[in-house]
Amino acid sequence: LPSWQSGSSFHVFDQGQFAKEVLPKYFKHSNMASFVRQLNMYGFRKVVHIEQGGLVKPEKDDTEFQHPYFIRGQEHLLENIKRKVTSVSRVR
């Protein structure tokens, strides 16, 4: 389930359990890939740790997400998290 460790990101330690138990409570689906797509649309990014010159494989099913305005104890920043606007080119 999700966890705040540093306060500047959140972890989903068991994606299967998260999708089965948490997502249906707040969304009309239980699809982790759809949840990640939604996070990306709002500017959240998956955190990738680089140590000793190589990528470190995360623990079993640990996925970490971060957004510059999603910080524990800084609720006033949440209003800055907005869905990305995609530009649509018009055909003439």
pTM of the model: 0.74
In a domain, 3, yes or no: no
In a domain, 15, yes or no: yes
d(CA 65, CA 11): 6
Say which residue, 48 or 38, is predicted with more confidence.
38
86 within domain boundaries: no
| Collapsed DSSP state (helix, strand, coil) of residue 66 | strand
pLDDT value of residue 37: 95
89 within domain boundaries:
no
Q: What's residue 53's pLDDT?
A: 47
Q: Are 84 and 67 in contact (CB under 8 A)?
A: no
| DSSP conformational letter for 27 | S
- Mean pLDDT on 61-90: 88
CB distance 3 to 18 below 8 Å: no
CATH of the domain at 62: 1.10.10.10
Instruction: Identify the pLDDT of residue 59.
Output: 53
pLDDT at residue 70, rounded to an integer: 93
Residue (of 86, 88, 68, 87) closest to 78 by Cα position: 68
Domain around 54: 9-80
Q: How many domains does the chain have?
A: 1
